Structure 1
Amino acid sequence: MAATKGLTRSRPSSAKTRAAIVRRLSAQTAGMTTVAVGEMETRHTWFRELDAEPRSWITLVARAGIDGFVTWFADPDPDGPVTSDVFGSAPRELARRISLHQTVELVRTTIDVVETQIDEVMPRSDRPVLHTAIVAYSREVAFAAAEIYARAAELRGTWDARLEASVVDAVLRGETDESVLSRASTLGWTSNQGVVVVVGSAPHTDAPSVDAASELEAIRHQAAISGLDMLGAVQGDRLIVVLGGPALKDPDWTLGVVARFVGSFAPGPVVVGPPVDHLMDTGASTREALSGYRAVVGWPEAPRPVSAHDLLPERALNGDGHARRALARELHDPLQDAGGGLLETLVVFLDQGLSVEATARALFVHANTVRYRLRRVHEVSGYSPTDPRDAYALRLALTLGRLLGRRGLTDGGRGD
Structure 2
Amino acid sequence: MARKRSATTNGSSPYAIRVDAKTIQRLKNHSGDLSSAVLQQLDSSLSWYRQLRPDDRSALGLMAQKGISSFINWLQRPTTSLKWVLTDIFGSAPAEMTRAISLQNALQLIRTVVDVVETKVPELVGEADGALLRDAVLRYSREVAFAAADVYARAAESRGAWDSRLEALVVDAVLRDEPEHELRSRAAAVGFGATDNIAVVIGGIDPQANSAQLAEIRRFASGYASDILLGSHGDRLILLAGGIEEPNTFFLRVGELFGPGPVVYGPMVDSLARTPTSAQAALAALDACKAWPGAPRPVAAADLLPERAMNGDEVAKRELEELIYQPLVAATNGLLETLSTYLDLGHSLEATARELFVHANTVRYRLRRVCDLTGWDPLVPREAFVLQTGLVVGRLLATDPNPA
TM-score band, normalised by the shorter chain?
0.7 to 0.9
Aligned-pair identity in percent equals 43
User: Which string of whole-angstrom CA distances, capped at 9 and with x for unpartnered residues, describes residues 90-109 of structure 1?
Assistant: 47323222222221221122
Name the structure 2 match of 1:229: 227
User: Which string of whole-angstrom CA distances, capped at 9 and with x for unpartnered residues, describes residues 187-206 of structure 1?
Assistant: 2222233432222223324x
Gaps of 5+ in 2: 1-6
Counterpart of 2:140, as a letter, is Y
For residues 6 and 135 of structure 1, the distance between their equivalents in structure 2, rounded to whole angstroms, comes to 16
For residues 379 and 284 of structure 2, the distance between their equivalents in structure 1, rounded to whole angstroms, comes to 27
For residues 235 and 383 of structure 1, the distance between their equivalents in structure 2, rounded to whole angstroms, comes to 34
Are 2:336 and 1:343 aligned? yes
Are 2:75 and 1:37 aligned? no
C-alpha change, 1:258 and 1:213, in structure 2 (3 Å) is: farther
Name the structure 1 match of 2:20: 18
User: Which string of whole-angstrom CA distances, capped at 9 and with x for unpartnered residues, describes residues 296-350 of structure 1?
Assistant: 0011111111111110011111122221221121012213323233333333443
Name the structure 1 match of 2:4: none
For residues 360 and 397 of structure 1, the distance between their equivalents in structure 2, rounded to whole angstroms, comes to 22
Counterpart of 1:25, as a letter, is L
C-alpha change, 1:165 and 1:374, in structure 2 (3 Å) is: same
Q: 1:218 aligns with which of 195, 216, 219?
A: 216
Q: 1:58 aligns with which of 60, 66, 70?
A: 60
Q: Say how many residue pairs are matched.
A: 394
Name the structure 2 match of 1:72: 74
For residues 362 and 151 of structure 2, the distance between their equivalents in structure 1, rounded to whole angstroms, comes to 77
Contact kept? 1:271, 1:308, Cα under 8 Å: yes
User: Which string of whole-angstrom CA distances, capped at 9 and with x for unpartnered residues, describes residues 155-199 of structure 1?
Assistant: 333333333333332322222442343232112222233432222
Matches within 5 A, 1:85-124: 85-88=88-91, 90=93, 92-118=95-121, 122-124=125-127
Are 2:158 and 1:160 aligned? no
User: Which string of whole-angstrom CA distances, capped at 9 and with x for unpartnered residues, describes residues 346-376 of structure 1?
Assistant: 3344345445555555555555544443333
Shift of 1:392: 1.1
More deviation, 135-144/100-109: 100-109
For residues 91 and 187 of structure 1, the distance between their equivalents in structure 2, rounded to whole angstroms, comes to 23
More deviation, 135-144/217-226: 217-226
Matches within 5 A, 1:217-366: 217-245=215-243, 247=244, 253-356=246-349, 359-360=352-353, 363-366=356-359
Contact kept? 1:216, 1:264, Cα under 8 Å: no
CA RMSD, aligned part only? 2.9
Contact kept? 1:295, 1:315, Cα under 8 Å: yes
For residues 88 and 283 of structure 2, the distance between their equivalents in structure 1, rounded to whole angstroms, comes to 53
For residues 51 and 121 of structure 2, the distance between their equivalents in structure 1, rounded to whole angstroms, comes to 29
Are 2:375 and 1:382 aligned? yes
Q: 1:129 aligns with which of 124, 132, 141?
A: 132
> What SS does the aligned partner of 1:92 have?
helix
Contact kept? 2:94, 2:151, Cα under 8 Å: no
For residues 37 and 225 of structure 2, the distance between their equivalents in structure 1, rounded to whole angstroms, comes to 46
> What SS does the aligned partner of 2:237 have?
strand
For residues 213 and 332 of structure 2, the distance between their equivalents in structure 1, rounded to whole angstroms, comes to 51
C-alpha change, 1:257 and 1:68, in structure 2 (3 Å) is: same
Q: 1:148 aligns with which of 143, 147, 151?
A: 151
Counterpart of 1:319, as a letter, is G
Contact kept? 1:273, 1:286, Cα under 8 Å: yes
Q: 1:199 aligns with which of 198, 202, 205?
A: 202
Name the structure 2 match of 1:208: none
Counterpart of 1:278, as a letter, is S
C-alpha change, 1:116 and 1:386, in structure 2 (3 Å) is: farther
For residues 63 and 124 of structure 1, the distance between their equivalents in structure 2, rounded to whole angstroms, comes to 23
For residues 294 and 286 of structure 1, the distance between their equivalents in structure 2, rounded to whole angstroms, comes to 12
Contact kept? 1:7, 1:133, Cα under 8 Å: no
For residues 38 and 374 of structure 1, the distance between their equivalents in structure 2, rounded to whole angstroms, comes to 87
Q: 1:48 aligns with which of 41, 45, 50?
A: 50
Shift of 1:79: 5.8
Name the structure 2 match of 1:188: 191
Shift of 1:294: 0.8
For residues 356 and 39 of structure 1, the distance between their equivalents in structure 2, rounded to whole angstroms, comes to 92
Contact kept? 2:203, 2:259, Cα under 8 Å: yes
Shift of 1:396: 1.4
For residues 396 and 275 of structure 2, the distance between their equivalents in structure 1, rounded to whole angstroms, comes to 30
Q: TM-score, normalised by structure 1?
A: 0.84
Gaps of 5+ in 1: 206-210
For residues 130 and 253 of structure 2, the distance between their equivalents in structure 1, rounded to whole angstroms, comes to 60
For residues 227 and 286 of structure 1, the distance between their equivalents in structure 2, rounded to whole angstroms, comes to 17
C-alpha change, 1:393 and 1:212, in structure 2 (3 Å) is: farther
> What SS does the aligned partner of 1:26 have?
helix
Counterpart of 2:236, as a letter, is R
Shift of 1:73: 1.1
Contact kept? 1:36, 1:109, Cα under 8 Å: yes
For residues 351 and 37 of structure 2, the distance between their equivalents in structure 1, rounded to whole angstroms, comes to 97
Counterpart of 2:279, as a letter, is T
